[in-house]
A and B are shown apart, each in its own frame.
Chain A
Amino acid sequence: MTKLQAKNIVKHFDHNGNSVVALDGINLDVEEGDFVCIVGPSGCGKSTFLNIVAGLEKPDSGEILLNGNPISTPGPDRTMVFQEGALFPWLKVIDNVEFGLKIAGIPKDERREISQRYLDMMQLTKFADSYTYQLSTGMKQRVAIARALAMDPEILLMDEPFAALDSQTRDLLLVELQLIWERTKKTIIFVTHNISESVILGNKVEVFKNRPSKIKKEIIIDYRRPRLAEDENLQKYYHQILDELKSEVIARTKDDSK
């Protein structure tokens, strides 16, 4: 079943008074339970696309359908894990995880039950009463994932969530995220500029073309899980994506030097 459909999404940006085309007709179908990675050169508009799916930005034209229904506003059915710094420092870890549930008016007992479950899943139980300044960057992102999952979203959106992590922490979370995906059967859209990440995580990798952005190629990765960063069998996918991206990066460099 198609969970999410992006239909011809177009978005312009105002850059020094000039209108720049950021997204030039993005079409994407995400099936229920898909793990879709969007990979592209930095500044290609992939985060903008994710924000549009989240309802945080509006497209100039085109529409997003969730379960066949058009959406235009943000909603807890599409929770987002941001790159960093999106946890609320004024709340304890557990209250961060319960934030959306509280907004939704879910009673306290029920909230506690849900938050405990996801804190447990992300191995955060010990830190429930900590404040965010007491956590490492990796722990913070675990909290952010727990917070997003606690809403039991239709689709989980992740915007370069591991970009600020050291490589050991990242490798660990890459494995954990695959296990969580298998366990929760969530549909995930994961944006990254890191090709390895996309190969390890995605069952579909969408390669974004440089501005004006389009989807250049979709690569299906049908390979056993959990995939590890050091698995050499993933190399061929890596190079396939790299080849697609290389020309984009070169085009970008030329574009910038103009």
Chain B
Amino acid sequence: MKIKTLYKQILFYVGVVVVWQIIFLTHLVPEQALPSPIQVGQVLVKEASDGSLPYAIANSMWRLVVGLVIAIIGGMIIGIFMAKVETVNQTIGSLILGLQSIPSVAWVPLALLWFGPTDAGVIFVTVAGALFAISINTHSGIKNIPPTYIAAGRNMGASGLQLVTNVMIPAALPYLISGFKQGWAYAWRGVIAAEIIFSIAGLGFLLNLGKHDNDISQVSGILIIVMIIGILVDGFVFKKIEAKILSRWGLSK
């Protein structure tokens, strides 16, 4: 069953590349607007071999990871306080809802003014993109913990921080993981956007470079890389963790 899905997907992507190449060969679209898959492949191979692509990926990824870790820790702390203290929820919680509606890219000008075009600036955008979604999901996760878990934890002597770390956080994990997933998606958009505008080393920078050089193959190639990383992180990191949690919590077959 799973293998079958994989075959379908491989077949689909091969088909896309073939159709792409055919369209290219017909010259219906000018070459400056649509490169051939081969040209794109060549650019990527060249950048991979001269080290510029791995360097860019490494740069973007470490900023993402640092930003996401900060957002996860911060978001969970905020979310737990929102769930435990009603006043915090009514005040800070309402602010968080508002802040969450700001697209990641909208934080870039502020980051530039505060931090300049630095790693810290990119990380700020990443954190700002992910933090609020994670807070909100943590809040609903804690609110939706079956009361029996809490009662059982207290009954066996857990209270305060012990109750939070030993019962509440693990009990809320199915919600937390979907918050992390959302947070990562916003964070990844934020990293790329900030790198484009800041023009500092990373995948966003390579995109910007392609634009400057009027190199459509470069721009298309990097977009594909950004997408592939997205698919890999989502499919191999988050989906795996999520599936494991859901099955252990008895929430799936």
Q: Which residues of A contact B (CB under 8 A)?
A: 51, 54-56, 74-76, 78-80, 82, 85-91, 99-100, 102-104, 131-133, 147, 151
Q: What DSSP secondary structure best describes chain A's contact surface?
A: loop
B155–A85 touching, CB < 8 Å: no
Q: What are 27 A-B interface contacts by the 8 Å CB criterion? A: A54-B155, A74-B154, A75-B157, A76-B157, A78-B155, A79-B155, A80-B151, A80-B155, A85-B146, A85-B148, A86-B149, A86-B151, A87-B152, A88-B152, A88-B167, A88-B170, A89-B248, A89-B250, A90-B248, A90-B249, A99-B156, A100-B156, A103-B158, A103-B162, A104-B157, A133-B250, A147-B156
Closest CB in chain B relative to A23 CB, distance in Å: 18
B166 touches A (CB below 8 Å): yes
Q: In the complex, which residues of chain A have a beta carbon less than 8 angstroms from the beta carbon of B158?
A: 103
Q: In the complex, which residues of chain A have a beta carbon less than 8 angstroms from the beta carbon of B156?
A: 76, 79, 99-100, 103, 147, 151
Q: Which residue on B lies nearest to A75, using beta carbons?
A: B157
Q: In the complex, which residues of chain B have a beta carbon less than 8 angstroms from the beta carbon of A87?
A: 152
A131–B166 touching, CB < 8 Å: no
Closest CB in chain A relative to B118 CB, distance in Å: 39
A85 to B250 alpha-carbon distance, docked (Å): 11
A3 to B159 alpha-carbon distance, docked (Å): 25
Please name 11 further chain A to chain B contacts, defined as beta carbons within 8 Å, in addition to the given A82-B148, A88-B149, sorted by A numbering. Answer: A74-B159, A82-B151, A86-B151, A88-B152, A89-B250, A90-B170, A90-B248, A100-B156, A131-B248, A133-B248, A133-B250
A110 to B247 alpha-carbon distance, docked (Å): 31
A61 to B164 alpha-carbon distance, docked (Å): 30
Closest CB in chain A relative to B180 CB, distance in Å: 16
Q: In the complex, which residues of chain B have a beta carbon less than 8 angstroms from the beta carbon of A89?
A: 248-250
B157–A103 touching, CB < 8 Å: yes
B127 touches A (CB below 8 Å): no
Contact of A132 among B152, B157, B250 (CB under 8 A): B250
Q: Which residue on A lies nearest to B252, using beta carbons?
A: A133
Closest CB in chain A relative to B166 CB, distance in Å: 7
Q: Which 4 A-B pairs have the closest CB atoms?
A: A100-B156, A133-B250, A90-B170, A86-B152
A74 to B152 alpha-carbon distance, docked (Å): 10
Closest CB in chain B relative to A209 CB, distance in Å: 26
Question: Most chain-B Cβ atoms within 10 A of its Cβ — which of A74, A75, A85?
Answer: A74
B171 touches A (CB below 8 Å): yes
A91 to B152 alpha-carbon distance, docked (Å): 14
Query: Using a Cβ–Cβ cut-off of 8 Å, how many residues does chain B contribute to the interface with A?
Result: 22
B248–A80 touching, CB < 8 Å: no
A56–B154 touching, CB < 8 Å: yes
A147 to B152 alpha-carbon distance, docked (Å): 10
A79 to B158 alpha-carbon distance, docked (Å): 12
B173 touches A (CB below 8 Å): yes
A147 to B157 alpha-carbon distance, docked (Å): 13
Q: In the complex, which residues of chain B have a beta carbon less than 8 angstroms from the beta carbon of A88?
A: 149, 152, 167, 170-171
Contact of A80 among B146, B152, B171, B173 (CB under 8 A): B152
Contact of A133 among B152, B159, B167, B249 (CB under 8 A): B249
- Given A88-B167, A133-B248, is A56 in contact with B155 using a C-beta cutoff of 8 Å? yes
Q: In the complex, which residues of chain A have a beta carbon less than 8 angstroms from the beta carbon of B146?
A: 85
Q: Which residue on B lies nearest to A96, using beta carbons?
A: B152
Closest CB in chain A relative to B141 CB, distance in Å: 13
B250–A100 touching, CB < 8 Å: no
A56–B157 touching, CB < 8 Å: no
Q: In the complex, which residues of chain B have a beta carbon less than 8 angstroms from the beta carbon of A132?
A: 250
Contact of B247 among A55, A82, A102, A133 (CB under 8 A): A133
Closest CB in chain A relative to B95 CB, distance in Å: 31
A88 to B157 alpha-carbon distance, docked (Å): 15
Q: Which residue on A lies nearest to B250, using beta carbons?
A: A133
A103 to B162 alpha-carbon distance, docked (Å): 8
Q: In the complex, which residues of chain B have a beta carbon less than 8 angstroms from the beta carbon of A86?
A: 148-149, 151-152
Closest CB in chain B relative to A103 CB, distance in Å: 5
Q: Which residue on B lies nearest to A78, using beta carbons?
A: B155
Q: Which residue on B lies nearest to A135, using beta carbons?
A: B250
A103–B166 touching, CB < 8 Å: yes
B residues 153-189 near A (Cβ < 8 Å) are 153-159, 162, 166-167, 170-171, 173
Q: In the complex, which residues of chain B have a beta carbon less than 8 angstroms from the beta carbon of A104?
A: 157
A55 to B158 alpha-carbon distance, docked (Å): 13
A131 to B247 alpha-carbon distance, docked (Å): 10
A151 to B157 alpha-carbon distance, docked (Å): 10
Q: In the complex, which residues of chain A have a beta carbon less than 8 angstroms from the beta carbon of B155?
A: 54, 56, 74, 76, 78-80
